[in-house]
Amino acid sequence: MSHSHPHHDPTVPPRALIGAGVLIATALALTGATSFGLIPRAADPVAERTRDQVAPAQQRDLRFADRADGAVIVSDAVTGEQITVIPSGQGGFVRAQMRRLAKARMAAGIGSEPPFRLTRWANGALSLVDPQTGKDAELHGFGPDHSRTFANMLPGTGA
């Protein structure tokens, strides 16, 4: 008894390869054109605020410190006042934003001592900026619950 079965040609049809190549080339061309400024970015909150002359409504310089039990202590960098404590295993959004900004600091050889600046803009947007690296996080784009977490760190919000 024979166990043979018909074998099909395992090669990919040339038209499919050409289509995939065109798709990849188009994606790379659009990405490069945007990176080099040939195509404007869809949204650039910093540029939009500058263009529209949106001023800061509130600002606070913050320090984030890890505690031995895994909690994060958020304090006012000017007064030293403790604003909030984020218990271990909670505050994933805050931790993710800080991890991203801290990674840029480590790459630049900057320690954790300089504060970060939290700003509520006159148009209601929130941003967290690291003045040392220039890296920022536009917090309002992550939904009201995540925005509220940071907004509560501003003065007069009952944090």
Q: pLDDT tens for residues 61-87?
A: 999 998 899 899 999 999 999 999 999
- Say how far apart CA 100 and CA 132 lie, in whole Å: 14
- Is 76 a member of any domain? yes
Are 54 and 36 contained in the same domain? no
Are 71 and 144 contained in the same domain? yes
Are 67 and 144 contained in the same domain? yes
Are 80 and 22 contained in the same domain? no
- Is 7 a member of any domain? no
- Is 124 a member of any domain? yes
Q: In this predicted structure, what is the pLDDT of residue 113?
A: 85
- Say how far apart CA 98 and CA 64 lie, in whole Å: 8
Q: In this predicted structure, what is the pLDDT of residue 11?
A: 84
pLDDT tens per residue, the chain (159 residues)? Answer: 556 656 666 788 889 889 989 999 989 988 887 777 777 766 677 788 878 888 899 999 999 998 899 899 999 999 999 999 999 888 888 888 888 888 988 888 888 789 999 999 998 889 999 999 988 888 877 777 878 888 999 987 655
Q: In this predicted structure, what is the pLDDT of residue 49?
A: 82
Locate the DSSP E strands across 47-115. Answer: 56-66, 72-76, 82-86
- Which residue in 113, 122, 118 sits closest to 153, CA to CA? 118
Are 33 and 100 contained in the same domain? no
- Say how far apart CA 125 and CA 109 lie, in whole Å: 30
- Is 117 a member of any domain? yes
Are 22 and 97 contained in the same domain? no
- Is 3 a member of any domain? no
Q: Could you give the number of structural domains in the chain?
A: 2
| pTM for the full predicted model | 0.68
Are 54 and 69 contained in the same domain? yes
Are 110 and 58 contained in the same domain? yes
- Is 1 a member of any domain? no
- Say how far apart CA 44 and CA 6 lie, in whole Å: 57
Domain that holds residue 90: 46-151
Evaluate whether 118 touches 150 at the Cβ level (below 8 Å).
yes
Are 19 and 34 contained in the same domain? yes
Burial class from Cβ neighbours inside 10 Å (0-12, 13-18, 19+) for residue 21 reads: exposed
